[in-house]
Structure 1
C-alpha cells in the first residue's frame, strides 16, 4: 500500500516547512540571536506562513533541535544494529553525525530556549543507546577501552566549528579531519587518555536556559 499523495495545499505546506527548517538551521547556527524574520527571508516564505507553523522563535528552536536529536538517535540505532565490519559501522556513524551537522545545533543553541519534556525523554533514550553503542564497539575490539560518550561528543563538536565558507567544501574538510580523529579513537590506542571525559551531567547542564542560570 502506497501513501496517498498530499493535496496541493498540504504539499505546499510540507515544502514550506522543509524550507523553514533548513533556513532556521543555517540562520540560528550562524547567529542564535537572529530574529525569526531572517529565517522567513532565507526560506523565501512569508512571515505569516512561518508564524502559522511556528508561533514563536522558541517553538521553531525546539522543532529544529528535536529533529536534530531524532536524526542522531537514528544514526546511533543504525550503528548498534549494523551487521558486518564493526569498525566500518563505527566510522559510518561518526561520518553520519558530521554530515547531519547535529553537533552545531548543540553548540550554538543549547541554553537559548526551554526544551520540551519529549526532548528530555529522547535525551534519556539517547544516553542508553550511546552506552549500548560503546559497548558494542569496545566488545568488538575496534574502539579503545577508555573512550567514553563525552569524548565522541567533543570530537564531533570540535569538527562542527570548522567553517570554510562554502558548505560543500566545509563538509569535505570536516570529513577529512574526522579521519584523523578516528585513528586516535581506534583500539588499542597509543596510551591512556589523560583526565576524564566530559560527563552526561555536564553535557545536559548546557540545555538549562541561560536565563534560569542567571536567576
Structure 2
C-alpha cells in the first residue's frame, strides 16, 4: 500500500470513508460515485471488460464505444427495475439506440447479461487496484475496496433471484477471471492489514468476502432510497467487527480462506 494522490473529489470521499470507518460508521456513497465515474477505460475501449466489441481486443470506434456504454448503463438500470427478462427492445429504447445496434453489440440476452457482469466486476477490480496503489495503509485500502464493491450488488442479486443469470454468469470464464483477480487483490489487502495490526487476526479473506456477499444480497433499494441509511449502518457494523482492537470477541470455528469461500460460492451456483 503506497501513499498517493487522486482527484480532489475522490480523495475527499475516501477520507470521509476511512475517518468514519475508524469510528464504526463508513460513508460509502461518495466512493461509489467516484468508482462509477472512473469506470474501466482500457477494458471499455476494447470491449474486453464486457466481452463485447470486436471480440479480438481491437479498440472500438468512438461511436461504437459510446453506444456500448449507453447500452450497458441502460441494461443495468432496466435489470434493476424490471429484472433480466426485460425485453431487449426496451433496453435499446432506454439507451436511445436502435434495436439493430443493440443486437450488433450483444447478439442475445445471455451476451448482454455477461457484459453487465463483466463490466461491473472490471470496474470494481480497477477501483480495488487503485485503492492498493493510492491509500497510505492496508486498512484504508480495505475500506475503500469494500465501499466500491457495493457496485456488485445488482449482479449478486440477479444471480440469487434469476436462474438465467446464475447459469450465464457461472459458465462465463470472463466473469470468473475478473472475480478471481478481485479475490486475489482482497486476499493481499487482508493479509497486509493483519500484518500492520489494523484487521483482526482471527479471520480469513473468505470471512470478509462472505460478509460482503451477504450484505450485497439485501433487497433492492425502494424508489425513495430509504434503504440507503440501513445499508450504511450495515457496512459500519461490518467494519467495526473487522477492526482489530483489544477485547475482540472470540469467533466460533476457524478462519475462512478464499478456497472455502469459493467452495461455498460453487455450491450456491449449482442447479
TM superposition score normalised by structure 2 = 0.62
Note if 1:133 corresponds to 2:200: no
Give the conservation status (yes or no) of the 8 Å contact 1:80–1:136.
no
1:142 aligned residue: 198
**Structure 1 Cα separation of the partners of residues 80 and 269 of structure 2:** 15
2:122 aligned to 70, 76, 85, which one? 70
* Superposed displacement of residue 22, structure 1: 1.1
What does residue 95 of structure 1 align with?
A: 147
Runs of 4+ aligned structure 1 residues displaced above 6 Å come to: none
8 Å CA contact 1:25, 1:64 repeated in 2 = yes
Q: 2:250 aligns with which of 172, 179, 192?
A: 192
Query: Residues 43-122 of structure 1: matches in 2 within 5 Å?
Result: 43-98=95-150, 101-109=151-159, 111-113=166-168, 115-122=171-178
Aligned residue in 2 for 1:123: 179
**CA 1:170–1:14 in structure 2 vs 1: closer, same or farther (change >3 Å)?**
farther
Shift of 1:155: 3.2
| Inter-CA distance 64–117: structure 2 relative to 1 (3 Å threshold) | same
Instruction: For residue 205 of structure 1, report the CA deviation from its aligned partner.
Output: 4.4
How many angstroms does 1:54 deviate by?
0.4
**Equivalent pair of 1:23/1:42 in contact (CA under 8 Å):** yes
Other-structure match for 1:3: none
Alpha-carbon contact 1:76-1:133 (below 8 Å) kept? no
Q: How many residues align?
A: 199
- Is the Cα contact below 8 Å between 1:95 and 1:175 reproduced in 2? no
In structure 2, the residue matched to 1:152 is 208
Distance 2:224 2:204 in 1: 30
Q: C-alpha distance in 1, partners of 2:204/2:153?
A: 17
Structure 1: runs of 5 or more not aligned: 1-8
Taking a change above 3 Å as real, the CA distance of residues 86 and 117 of structure 1, as seen in their structure-2 partners, is: closer
Post-superposition Cα deviations, 1:161-197, rounded to whole Å, max 9, x if no partner, equal: 2544348665565334312221111113631223464
Give 3-state SS (helix, strand or coil) of 1:193's partner. coil
> Where does structure 2 lack aligned partners over 5 or more consecutive residues?
1-59, 160-164
Q: Which of 203, 211, 215 is residue 265 of structure 2 equivalent to?
A: 203
1:112 aligned counterpart, secondary structure: helix
Matching of residues 8-19 of structure 1 within 5 Å: 10-19=61-70
TM-score by length of 1: 0.76
Cα offsets for 1:122-163 (capped at 9, x unmatched): 333333322212111111111112333333333333433254
Instruction: State the Cα distance separating 1:53 from its structure 2 match.
Output: 0.7
The counterpart of 1:180, out of the listed 226, 237, 241, is 237
Match of 2:43 in 1: none
In 2, are the aligned partners of 1:104 and 1:157 still within 8 Å (CA)?
Answer: no
